[in-house]
Amino acid sequence: MCDYCGKKITEGAVKKKIEDSFYYFCCNTCETVFKNKYDQLKQRIQSKEQA
């Protein structure tokens, strides 16, 4: 299953390691959107920790 949209992954799965975990996506679009949202969330958390 795609870690972003939940679709069943067929041929051509995209595998991405982020920090210590591997994530699997059905396409490059899902990988890109997931990574962008992940980075935004991480940035918000770091901003709150510094405040």
- Assess if residue 8 is contained within a domain: no
Confidence of residue 51 (pLDDT cuts 50, 70, 90): low
- Assess if residue 3 is contained within a domain: no
Task: Please name which of 14, 51, 7 lies closest in space to residue 32, comparing C-alpha atoms.
Answer: 14
Domain that holds residue 24: 14-50
- Look at residue 43 and give its three-state secondary structure: helix
- Assess if residue 43 is contained within a domain: yes
- Assess if residue 9 is contained within a domain: no
- Assess if residue 41 is contained within a domain: yes
Confidence of residue 17 (pLDDT cuts 50, 70, 90): very high
Bridge partners for 14 per DSSP: 25
Distance set, CA 16 to CA 20, 21, 39, 42 (Å) = 10, 8, 14, 17
- Assess if residue 39 is contained within a domain: yes
Q: Which residue has the tokens 């069943």?
A: 8
Query: If you average pLDDT over residues 22-29, what whole number do you get?
Result: 96
**Whole-model pTM?**
0.81
Q: What is the pLDDT of residue 47?
A: 86
- Is residue 22 within 8 Å of residue 3, measured between CB atoms? no
Q: Which residue has the tokens 């962008």?
A: 36
- Domains held by the chain: number: 1
Query: If you average pLDDT over residues 8-12, what whole number do you get?
Result: 88
